[in-house]
Amino acid sequence: MITGHRQAGITKAISNEVAFVLSSFLRKQESGSLYLRSTQKITELVPGKKGVWHVSDSSLNFIKDKTEWNGTDIVFDIARKDDKTELCFTHVGLVPGLQCYGDCSEAWGFYLKDSLRNLITAGKGEPNRKKKDIGKKAA
């Protein structure tokens, strides 16, 4: 279970499920805080190369169809490029026609380009976006 992006356990086997809950204030809304809950099943895992999570259940309180993520896949492809590591992230099924597309794409950009990069390079990520950063685009 990951709550507020704090992970209580890591699962490393195909078919295991990862429960994820995010309850934080990523962007100001009339309705209050953003809430996202999803359950992913690990469908592919090649250590150091690829990981795929299939979203089997989700609830996003900031959009009309709260289950937009259901049936989508979150894919992490990892490759060596010279002396560096390249991470290619794709949320398969998160397409421009979905209501969540803009906000979710921006959030994924923040977590990958800012938080994960800082975790890798400086030893400290930013799993909970600070209120002062709401509305800022990832660099």
Kindly list the structural domains of the chain, giving each domain's residue range(s) and its CATH number in brackets, ordered by start.
Answer: 2-122 (3.30.530)
The residues of the chain scoring below 70 in pLDDT are 1-15, 19-34, 129-139
Q: What is the per-residue pLDDT for 135? A: 45
Q: What is the per-residue pLDDT for 62? A: 84
Q: What is the per-residue pLDDT for 32? A: 56
What contacts 107, CB < 8 A, 6 or more positions away?
26
